[in-house]
Amino acid sequence: MSMINYAAREINCKIVYYGPGLGGKTTNLEHIYGKVKPDTRGKLISLATETERTLFFDFLPVDLGTIRGFNTRFHLYTVPGQVYYNASRKLILKNVDGIVFVADSQVERMEANLESMQNLYDNMAEYGYDLTRMPFVVQYNKRDLPNAAPTEELQAALNPGWEPAEPAKARVTPDPYHAGQNLVDQHSSGVWIERVPYFEAVAVGGDGVFDTLKAVSKLVLKALA
């Protein structure tokens, strides 16, 4: 739920990084924290266990600039990825404006990715949110590992697309982030399919982290415009 504070001239939006355990959600936030200027971000708060697994959430507020005299402040949250923390995960999704799904590219983690994606759909649906109509991007992390699955396989499994919600969107729309690919395309059967933007990343080194953040933040602001 974005909140516009006219008195303070601020637009506040909430972005949640979702995905399976040990997939790199916290690493994304740590990289952002380390790279943005200290005067444009707050503290990185981690509610973690003693072994540094996220227990409740990580939180990082960042200012991404000014539009029409209003400061745009993004509140970045991660959820605990471990399966048994679902009650916490669901709480964090409340009033979310945009979602980043951080998938673990390793072949062995495919099932965990699918389970987490299903869990995301289910939790969103319980709040009455329609994930397919929200600002949503997918990040394939750990692309540097030798056992990383090809992006085509990950796309087919995690971002297979759905029928565009509005008939007006049923036209070929190029993917601005991948030349030669389309976000909205027509299958040979005649059915139109819409996918969400995806990014390849190596979050420990920072590759793809800001591309992902920029894309989801832009979608959130465009949803308000």
Partner 1 sequence: MTNPGAANWSFDEEDLNALTRTVSRFLSETGAHSALIADRSGQLVATIGRPLSFDPMVFATLTAADFSANDQLARLIGETDFTTLFHQGEKESMYVADVARRLILVTLFDNHTPIGLVRLKMKPVVEELTVHLDRAYIRARESGSTQPNILAGAGEEIDELFNW
Those residues whose C-beta lies under 8 Å from the C-beta of residue 136, and which sit 6 or more positions away, are: 98, 99, 100, 101, 196, 216, 219
Per-residue mark of binding to partner 1, 50-69 (x: CB under 8 A): ------xx-x-x--xxxxx-
Site string for partner 1, 113-142 (x = CB under 8 A): -----------x--xxxx--xxx-------
145 binds partner 1 (CB under 8 A): no
Distance CA 83, CA 21 (A): 8
Shortest Å, Cβ 67 to partner 1: 5
Among 170, 173, 206, 214, binds partner 1 (CB under 8 A): 214
Mask of contacts with partner 1, 14-33, x by CB under 8 A?
Answer: x-------------------
Inter-residue contact 96 to 86 (CB < 8 Å): no
100, 138, 158, 221: residue in contact with partner 1 (rule CB under 8 A): 221
Measured between alpha carbons, how far is 45 from 128 in angstroms, rounded to an integer?
Answer: 28
Pick 178 or 218: Cβ nearer partner 1: 218
Question: What gap in Å lies between CA 2 and CA 165, rounded to an integer?
Answer: 22
Q: Show the tokens assigned to 181.
A: 């690919």
- Smallest distance, Å, CB 60 to partner 1? 10
**What is the closest distance, in whole angstroms, from the C-beta atom of residue 108 to partner 1 in the complex?**
32
- Backbone angles phi and psi of 142, in degrees to 5: 65, 40
Question: Residue 87: in which H helix or E strand, if any?
Answer: helix 86-93
CB of 111 to partner 1, least distance (A): 27
